[in-house]
Chains A and B, each alone.
Chain A
Amino acid sequence: MTGENILRDLGGLDADLIAKAAPGEKIAKKPHKWIKWVAAAACFALMTGGVLILPGWREEAPLESTASDCSESSEISGPTEIPTWEEPRYTALEIADLFAVKDNLGTNQYQRIYVPDSKDLPLVAPGGEDYLGVYRYAQKGIPLDKNELSAFLDSVLPSLTDSLDITLPPYEIRERERYGGRERVYEYLEFGEHSRYSLNFEQSETHISVGLSDVRDKQGIVLDGEIIQADQRLTDEEILDSLQSVKNKLCRIFGVSFTKEKVVRRYSSDSKHGVVDLLVYFYNETGHPLERYGEILSDYILIRFDNFANYDGDIVSDGVLTVASVGYRKYRTPLAESYELIANAGLISLKEAEELLFNGYAFGGHYCPLCMDAQEEVSFEGYEFVGMEYYFGEEDDGSALVIPFYTFYKEIGTSQNGNKVYAKTYVSAMPLLGYDEYLESQKTDHRR
């Protein structure tokens, strides 16, 4: 009997059934305490004839609360119904459920960060705030609109192919069924001599995007006779300066104007060359507080320089990078408005965070409930750097709770390519309950 057929038949279960039964997925969604609070406040508002408004962050009414001394107070605005959390709202286990076990995003164990130098660490220093916003991310979609997509493509593709000096082959947009609660249409084309370029575009309920890649010959993307390239040996500012002409062309092609720009470099442990990839973003600021922590919340253009070998003959470089892809993402519903401020949370001090860290009360120790790899223990005593970061705890329905963490970095060695290796771990910037229970659960769950 080949009984594995049985298991293979079960392998054909639908993706949503598989996803919601995954290890660590919540069995039944318990309302968050803030939801209970909101419900209670709503009842109270109704009983008293008042109105409860949970505004987006753009509401301009001043916030009257203890958060008035918060550095965000000029940015976080809205009626007084936005609560201020002075006391713990979550247990460490609840946070672990959101951030560690469920999504395997890395807070079970400390992360390894590879950089040539400490100045390359992507961290945002804590601003000394007493309060920071807690957000609920839930991007609403709107129905697909063929006319909108056609108009977008009609406005973009002619100027793009003109700049590439290539004629686009005929194409059709394939429909897709609704899947996972969302719907989208997309198309993928390869075109040019020897299928030099690939072009993909799509319309989902939340955005339209188009991406152009240098697929096969790795000759680089050439716009109006100018190759898109970046010299990774330059500073970020110098790279951005060198790409101004390309930026102007891309903005013209996509019909946009972006005032902000930034470079993101990613490194690995084993590449003998510099960056693994180098990303250049052109975008706009929206004024949302999360932008301070590196989030891009507007439409954007992204140029990505790859620096690794996909195929034989690929050139990996220590200097000038030419293998690029270009993408443009246009949100159909404003992304920034998808981040709803649900509370201003009182933060623990850096000193209190250090105490938690030194006692092991961090999300990112060497115990892991799920994985098989045990990490070497790292003492964060004498850590080198501290940052502040928002973490996205995704829920089953695609929404997310967005809450602040302190991040601590400790150098733990040098990788084979000479990059410095930092261990990175997280300590909740909000006070939590039940740390001991959380730690014990990690120990007992490991390798179960």
Chain B
Amino acid sequence: MEDEQIVDLYWARSEAAIAETEKKYGRYCRYIAFRILQNDEDAKEIVNDTYLKTWNTIPPNRPDQLKPYVGTVCRQLSLNRYEAQTAQKRGGEVGVLLAELSECIPDRSGGADIGESVALRDALNRFVRSLPDKTGRIFVRRYWYASSISEIAKEYAMKESSLTVLLLRTRRKLKEFLSKEGFDV
């Protein structure tokens, strides 16, 4: 079933929308949740929560692409769960990602400024779009999907060492980019 038809089902308040979403994107969501939480049971719960939140947000939303929509919902919920579980310590793949990114993205723990947040998100989008296609995909794969180095390297037919260097260089570019944009990094 096409995304448009599934979204139509949500708008018609048909529960078949959830069944179709699960059929088409269930594994995709489980992948995202599992990469962040590293736990099967937690991942399954988050995926179910993802369907519920999607149900509650369409309408009023009407996403043209359902895949990134449910993926984003799932990722947010997974990060919420991760935060709740690891309030005292950092670990797993997310901990590694945070360590990698902490040097190049401003820490806004002192208080969320909506304007700055919007500006940062806009800048991050522009940065990823400025990258060569393959590099951009790898960057998103690593830092949005939390995919492991070994997994990405295999999928992109690269040596892990080469991939690590590529990501390091990309993070440096990001730091430089954000600095030029006026962010305090």
Contacts and interface: CB of A to CB of B under 8 A. Distances in A.
A6 B141 contact: no
Interface string B98-119: 1001100101110010000100
Interface stretch (A7-15, A35-43, A143-151, A281-289): A7-15
A28 B14 contact: no
Contacts of B19: 266, 268, 276
A180 B65 contact: yes
A105 B26 CA distance: 9
A22 B62 contact: no
B90 A11 contact: no
A133 B13 CA distance: 37
Contacts of B136: 17, 21
B109 to A, nearest CB: 4
Contact of B109 (A5, A266, A277): A5
B68 A370 contact: no
Contact of A6 (B34, B102, B148): B102
A8 B143 CA distance: 10
A3 B145 CA distance: 16
Contacts of B24: 103-105
A325 B168 CA distance: 53
Dominant secondary structure of chain B at its interface with chain A: helix
Nearest to A2: B109
Interface residues of B, number: 73
Interface stretch (A76-84, A182-190, A222-230, A412-420): A182-190
Nearest to B117: A9
Contacts of A104: 24-28
B162 interface: no
A209 interface: yes
Contacts, number: 187
B71 to A, nearest CB: 6
B45 interface: no
A159 interface: no
A28 B90 contact: no
A24 B8 CA distance: 27
A23 B141 CA distance: 8
Contacts of A11: 72, 75-76, 79, 144
A180 B16 contact: no
Contacts of B105: 6, 9-10
Contact of B151 (A108, A368, A448): A448
Nearest to B18: A308
Interface string B120-147: 1100110011000110111111011101
B65 A19 contact: yes
Contacts of B112: 5
A443 to B, nearest CB: 14
Interface residues of A, number: 62
A209 to B, nearest CB: 7
A184 B16 CA distance: 24
B79 to A, nearest CB: 6
A306 interface: yes
Given A3-B107, A6-B101, A106-B23, A21 B137 contact: yes
A278 B99 CA distance: 51
Interface centre among A12, A179, A198 (most CB of B within 10 A): A12
A211 B98 contact: no
A266 B16 CA distance: 9
Interface string A205-224: 00001010101000000000
A448 B155 CA distance: 12
B69 to A, nearest CB: 7
Interface string A161-201: 00000000000000010011010101010000000001010
A310 interface: yes
Contacts of B4: 204
B30 interface: yes
Given A6-B105, A211-B8, A17 B140 contact: yes
B94 interface: yes
Interface in B9-65: 11-16, 19, 23-28, 30-31, 34, 40, 43-44, 59-60, 62-65
23 contacts: A4-B79, A4-B83, A4-B98, A11-B72, A11-B79, A11-B144, A12-B121, A13-B121, A17-B125, A19-B68, A21-B138, A21-B141, A23-B147, A28-B133, A105-B23, A215-B13, A304-B16, A308-B15, A368-B27, A371-B26, A371-B31, A373-B40, A448-B150
Interface of A: 1-25, 27-28, 103-106, 108, 176, 179-180, 182, 184, 186, 188, 198, 200, 204, 209, 211, 213, 215, 266, 268, 276-277, 304, 306, 308, 310, 325, 327, 368, 370-373, 448
Q: Which are the 7 A-B pairs with shortest beta-carbon distances?
A: A12-B121, A21-B140, A15-B68, A3-B98, A18-B68, A104-B27, A2-B109
Interface of B: 4, 8, 11-16, 19, 23-28, 30-31, 34, 40, 43-44, 59-60, 62-65, 67-69, 71-72, 75-76, 79, 82-83, 90, 94, 97-98, 101-102, 105, 107-109, 112, 117, 120-121, 124-125, 128-129, 133-134, 136-141, 143-145, 147-148, 150-151, 154-156
